Structure 1
């Protein structure tokens, strides 16, 4: 079972940051509604991209595009999950 752990600081770095000094952060004092809206926006964008890819003919795709698509999906989904995690902790 997950236990409640208060945030160490107001700004929580996104897990998708690639550097030791994070540039993109989540404001843990943001309203739950704002956090959920931001999470939904990112997850909806990832879902829309997946739907577009599902409808495309992969014979027309270039192999070099696959890592770019995967990276975009990873960033959108990881950021969305990070936002949901902060919103979820606000409930407790």
Structure 2
């Protein structure tokens, strides 16, 4: 079984994977990008007036935040495992 490419939990049918042989710096950079994007989106939402928001957009926003944070956490975990080894 090939363990180099670990599927992301957020990816259906293992389309998106983490290269576990990537450097921990590259893994951390990718994690930071995703977590920063999620944080920026949350900050934007925090600053918006929710009276202007459309209720039908909420599932899309939640899905985007889930994908970004789930991928970021998995990348961090892979980097942590790599550093420990």
| TM-score interval, normalised by the smaller of the two chains | over 0.9
Tell me which residue corresponds to 1:15: 9
Deviation at 1:91, TM superposition (A): 1.5
Deviation at 1:12, TM superposition (A): 0.3
Of Structure 1 and Structure 2, the greater helix share is in 2
**For each residue in 1:21-55, what CA deviation from the matched residue of structure 2 results, as whole angstroms up to 9, or x when unmatched?**
31100000000000000000000000000000000
1 CA distance for matches of 2:38 and 2:26? 19
Runs of 4+ in structure 1 displaced over 4 angstroms? none
Structure 1 position 75 matched with structure 2 position 75: no
RMSD: 0.8
Structure 1 position 62 matched with structure 2 position 45: no
Tell me which residue corresponds to 1:38: 30
Structure 1 position 49 matched with structure 2 position 38: no
Corresponding pairs, count: 83
What residue ranges of structure 2 are gaps of 5+ in the alignment? none
Deviation at 1:16, TM superposition (A): 0.4
| TM-score, normalisation: structure 2 | 0.95
| TM-score, normalisation: structure 1 | 0.88
Corresponding residue SS for 2:11: coil
